[in-house]
Amino acid sequence: MISKQVAKDAGNGHFPSQGVIYDRAGIEVDATGWVWKLNSLRPEALNFRRLNVQSAGLLASIALYLAELVQATSVDHVTNTFDALVYLHRSEHLRACAENGADIDERLISELRQIPRLADYRLGYVRAWYRWCAQQGLRQFSPETATRLDDLVIEHNVVGHAVRTRDPEKGAFDELEFIALTTALRASASSSVLDLKERTALWLAIGLGCNPLAYALLREEDYKPIVEHGTGRIQHMLYVPRIKKGDEEFRAQFHPEILNDEIGPLVAALIDQNMSRRKAARWSEEYAHPLFVASRPRLDLRGQLREYAMHVIPSDITDMLKNAVRKLGVKSHRTGGDLIVTARRFRRTFATRAVEEGAFPVELAMMLDHSDLQTVQVYYETRSNQVQRLDAALALKLAPLADAFMGRLVVDESEAVNGGNPAKRIPWFRRRPGQTPERNGNLGTCGAGACGLYAPISCYTCEKFQPWKNGPHREMLDWLCAERDRREKDGRDPQIVRLHDATILAVAEVVTLCEGAAE
């Protein structure tokens, strides 16, 4: 039963104090006042004034229930419960019961169901609160009503809708959007468009598909470069904190990831940069060394969480990704506007592409660090064996949005870097079935020094390439599209069919630029 003191406190306008309690990680939570600050990497707090509950007994029942949840469950579960209970005062039946002291019945759920902004699955949190109060024998909560509420059908949170519908704003990036993003990111490597932290975060989001909390929890010590004996080649290992296991503490378990040679050196460089800045700023020794460093220490963190003072929070990671893509100027051909970015879209894209590349459900669950296979089934439900059509006409239409061409158009080699060096010309060989390739002019000039790329396929997506305005680019485009069509008709794997889609779009953009300049 609610103690007389708790009821008295709530009745005279004082908060029904729960004293100082300890969360499941053993860290203190001050539950004496109207605002409870929870121990989380995010600045989470429960402001009980938001409940707008006028009954002393009902307010006390909520405080008692949430105090128990704080001690036994995760911060996310506590905040989800609180956010659902905030809607209680919207029920006319509950307001009447708060005034006259009558028992609360099923009308509570029926009335809350009519609130448009309250998703049906959140009613499960309200039902759990009612059930707990009835089990405790609290006034106004009937065990019989609790039993009837348990028989009500309450929809679970619908997951996978954005993936199933291929939502252009919330679902995975499609192939052309992914090409536009990665091409722009690679092309910016030699510029200062992105800082090192933004570039590293963006590549990790593309390459790992983690939740933003995992990136926020990363520390320098999680990166382990391993030098191969004999070759001297570095294998870049990153131990990513697991966050979906209900651990009592952060960074209790880790998932090892091998970073490729595009991402690993960025992580190493960011660590070096952090070390230099840390020495200059003279951090407190009680702070850990995160990979993604906050601009200033968080002074609100207490106890064991004090070491996380220089960690960014998950929303900072999301903002970092949004800002990076905005700076790159990536567009979506599906919306016609800027590419909309969230950490979840990167995760959905990572999973979608893994399935397209042949990952089995068990493998995908491991890659996403899921505990069961049900959560990954949506990616297999939406898998398509059909390859998106991409002929020359469509490529010319999509090219400006894909923005895959990274070089600089020149009139001829006299305007090009290395234009005086015939060895830097990129030749074009006309290809006809059953015939030996026949040289038919030059496509442009390579502005690089030594280059190990496969010409001319790799040239158009390289920032050093300088195509000539009168080069045979249309012929190159037609050949690439014909080869793509042949691979598709031969029944090749979709990944093989799409192998040169970025180049097709880049060549199409050059054709568009050349023909536009000629008008």
- Distance in angstroms between the alpha carbons of the first and the last residue of the chain: 85
Q: How far is CA 100 from CA 56, 96, 105, 140, 149, in A?
A: 12, 6, 14, 10, 22
pLDDT of residue 398: 82
CA distance 244 to 254: 11
Please tell me whether the peptide bond between 456 and the residue prior to it is cis, using omega within 30 degrees of 0.
Answer: yes
Query: Which position has the token pair 């794997």?
Result: 493
Q: Parse the chain into domains and list their residue ranges.
A: 4-151, 161-381, 392-518
In this structure, the strands spanning 234-241 and 223-227 are antiparallel
Torsion of CA 339, 191, 200, 235, to 10 degrees: 130
CA distance 60 to 275: 49
pLDDT of residue 385: 56
pLDDT of residue 244: 62
pLDDT of residue 218: 98
Q: What is the largest CA-CA distance in the chain?
A: 96
User: What is the SS3 assignment for 162?
Assistant: helix
CA distance 162 to 305: 35
pLDDT of residue 399: 84
Question: CA angle, corner 517, sides to 515 and 519, nearest 5?
Answer: 75
Report the CATH superfamily, name and number, of domain 161-381: Intergrase catalytic core (1.10.443.10)
How many Cβ atoms sit within 10 Å of the Cβ of residue 353? 18
From first to last of its 519 residues, the chain has per-residue pLDDT tens of 444 444 444 445 689 999 999 998 888 899 999 999 998 878 889 999 999 998 999 999 999 999 999 999 989 899 999 999 999 999 999 999 999 999 999 999 999 999 988 888 899 999 999 999 999 999 999 999 999 999 988 877 667 888 888 899 999 999 889 999 998 999 898 889 999 999 999 999 999 999 999 999 999 999 999 998 888 889 999 999 998 655 567 888 999 999 999 999 999 999 999 999 998 888 878 899 999 999 999 888 877 888 999 999 999 999 999 999 999 999 998 898 999 999 999 999 999 988 888 888 888 888 888 877 777 888 888 776 556 778 888 888 888 877 889 899 999 999 999 999 999 999 999 988 778 888 999 999 999 877 777 889 989 988 899 999 999 999 999 999 999 999 988 888 887 888 899 899 999 999 999 987 555
How many Cβ atoms sit within 10 Å of the Cβ of residue 164? 14
pLDDT of residue 284: 79
Residues 432-467: b if buried by 16+ CB within 10 A, e if exposed: eeeeeeeeeebbbbbbeeeeeeebbebbbbbbbbbb
